[in-house]
Chains A and B, each alone.
Chain A
Amino acid sequence: MKRRSFLSWGTAGLVALWSAVGVSLGAVVRFLTPSVFYEPPQNFKIGNPADFSFGPPTFLAEEKIFVFRDREKGFAVASAVCTHLGCTVGYFQSDERFHCPCHGSVFGSDGTVQHGPAPRPLEWFEVTLARDGQLRVDKDHAVPASYRLMV
């Protein structure tokens, strides 16, 4: 074999080899990324407006949300997932704030961070009235803390 053809074939071979390695790595990452998530839906109904009382928010454990109902202002839904590391916060009536048990973050009743390491306020989700008269929450749709649904 001539030197020149050896070099060019060799280079081509190396390029092919490394491309194959690269493509395979990409395929491995893609393989590990689930194409389907068997997780609870992000958009769900939570019941009739009449099911919710006025006063302190109702905590829905499965959905990890707080449902606020105010006589004048209407409905609002806050996330119960702490923005720091994902622990579930609790609402304390005594000081009307959310407290995170993991690292002590404290959020005001409007979700703003008042204390602790949480980097962002609690999220608020869009809540609408479904056709059958039930409340529908869309976790994929964040709204400002001022958002209210009047029923």
Chain B
Amino acid sequence: MNLIRDAWQSIIRRDPLSTDKGKSELVFLNVWLHIHPAKVKKENLKVKHTFYLGFITFFLFLILVTTGVALMFYYRPDAPHAYQDMKDLQFVVYLGSFLRNMHRWAAHGMVICVFLHMCRVFYTGSYKRPRQFNWVIGVFLFLLTLGLSFTGYLLPWDQLAFWAITVGTNIGSYAPLVGGRIRELLLGGHTVGESALLRFYVLHVAVLPAVATLLTMVHFWRVRKDGGLSRPVWKLKEAKSAELVTIGAPGNGAPLAVVPASKDKTYGLMEVVTGKPIFETVSMEEEEDTVFSYPYAFFREGVALLVTVASVMAVSLFWQAPLEELANPAKTPNPAKAPWYFLGLQELVSHSALLGGVIVPTLAVLALIAIPYIDLTPSRRPADRKWAIRAFTLFVVVNVVLIIVGTFFRGPGWALVPPWVHIVGAE
């Protein structure tokens, strides 16, 4: 029996729960507790503040990793096999089409949720000091999400995949000077072929997920270091409340007194810190507003996880992920459309490739990154930031309209065709 107990303890690395030490270690060694503060503001748990969109995005990512690894057992990234393997997954492999559906729908869901999460963060003004940089990390996470979807789009090697990637990578080649070179590096050739498939596969299953995981960790860490979630807009005080001081944020507080480091002590830190620690100052009234993370936050996050997984499963039971004919470089389907989240881009490109495909998107991304550094009004109340809200809303509306036009209103030859008109014999 001792053997089993010792082995068990070597795995979980804590004393039995019957001891006080074991009990406290259960708390200290728990990763999820580690990334949560001990207590969180009660109001922040309200659905109407975050809609749990960041969590849902993260849970969708987890679903994608899990189902993606499952798909990898049956998928070979080379030209004739890739498509056959998709067919096998769809018709032969036990649960194959269900897993593929989950992967596909979770991917679409993640693109939607990451965008909505960004909107929520914007409208609640949560990108303001000290959260500016976490917004920037967020923009990169957004781009990574698009990159993951885009690289995954080629893998089924059907007509949809082939032409969407042909069009998509050609957009990139319009970038001045480096465009052709970037496309060559990405494709490992001059046309979408076997080497492109392999490169997209490696990016999709290894490089981008690794980077996304890393950035997500930094993102979460910074949410905590920035003093937890921002206070809900409806809890903002009328008068300018005392600024919260956060470690790491450039402080406006009184400069620290410089005290020489103690002579009789060896410090092994990167920096020697003296003086009073600067923590968030929590007043009594705010203290009463908080609840313990465990179980209150954990429970809600658990519910969000269950709802996310159940929804993706339900959708995957009823809707099949599309799979068209085998990729045929000689025959362009008409119309040839990029994945839906790039159809706004394709719509712009159909007017001008350089302006619409390179200049406008680049400026849009730069503008997104710059938002927290341009919008310097400290107030987070909607009434005080009318212009910021108008500008961002315009950005969102233009995006949505362009995507809707590209998706539903573009027919053969990219002609404007309303969705209710059916063109017979369009080739």
Contacts and interface: CB of A to CB of B under 8 A. Distances in A.
B340 interface: no
A103 interface: yes
Contacts of B419: none
B166 interface: yes
A64 B336 contact: no
A101 B336 contact: yes
Contact of A104 (B191, B413, B427): B413
A32 B199 CA distance: 10
B189 to A, nearest CB: 6
Interface in A63-89: 64, 84-88
A150 interface: no
Interface stretch (B106-114, B245-253, B302-310, B325-333): B325-333
A87 B189 CA distance: 17
Interface stretch (A17-25, A33-41, A44-52, A125-133): A33-41
A86 B169 CA distance: 9
B331 A32 contact: no
B311 interface: no
A86 B357 CA distance: 14
Instruction: Pick the most buried of A32, A64, A104: most chain B CB atoms within 10 A of its CB.
Output: A104
A116 B166 CA distance: 19
B415 interface: yes
A86 B167 contact: yes
B334 interface: yes
Interface stretch (B82-90, B345-353, B378-386): B345-353
B344 to A, nearest CB: 14
A6 B408 CA distance: 67
Interface in B386-427: 412-415, 427
Contacts of B427: 90
A102 interface: yes
A99 B189 CA distance: 26
Interface residues of A, number: 25
B332 A33 contact: no
Nearest to A88: B332
Contacts, number: 78
A98 to B, nearest CB: 12
B155 interface: no
A101 B413 contact: yes
Nearest to A61: B330
Contact of A29 (B185, B329, B336): B185
Given A29-B185, A102-B332, A85 B190 contact: no
Nearest to B328: A61
B184 to A, nearest CB: 7
Contact of A86 (B166, B331, B351, B414): B166
B335 A102 contact: yes
B335 A101 contact: yes
A119 B193 CA distance: 25
B350 A33 contact: no
B353 A87 contact: no
B190 A37 contact: yes
Contact of B350 (A38, A39, A61, A117): A117
Contacts of B195: 34, 38
Contact of A39 (B193, B334, B412): B193
A103 B349 contact: yes
Nearest to B169: A86
Interface of B: 163, 166-167, 170-171, 184-185, 188-191, 193-195, 329-336, 346, 349-354, 412-415, 427
21 contacts: A32-B188, A34-B188, A38-B194, A38-B195, A39-B189, A61-B330, A62-B330, A64-B329, A85-B171, A86-B191, A88-B329, A88-B330, A88-B332, A99-B413, A101-B335, A101-B412, A101-B413, A103-B346, A116-B414, A117-B350, A117-B353
Given A33-B185, A85-B167, A103-B350, 20 more contacts: A32-B188, A34-B188, A38-B189, A38-B195, A39-B190, A39-B193, A84-B170, A85-B170, A85-B353, A86-B170, A86-B191, A88-B329, A90-B427, A100-B332, A101-B332, A101-B336, A102-B335, A103-B349, A104-B414, A119-B353
Interface of A: 29, 32-34, 37-39, 61-62, 64, 84-88, 90, 99-104, 116-117, 119
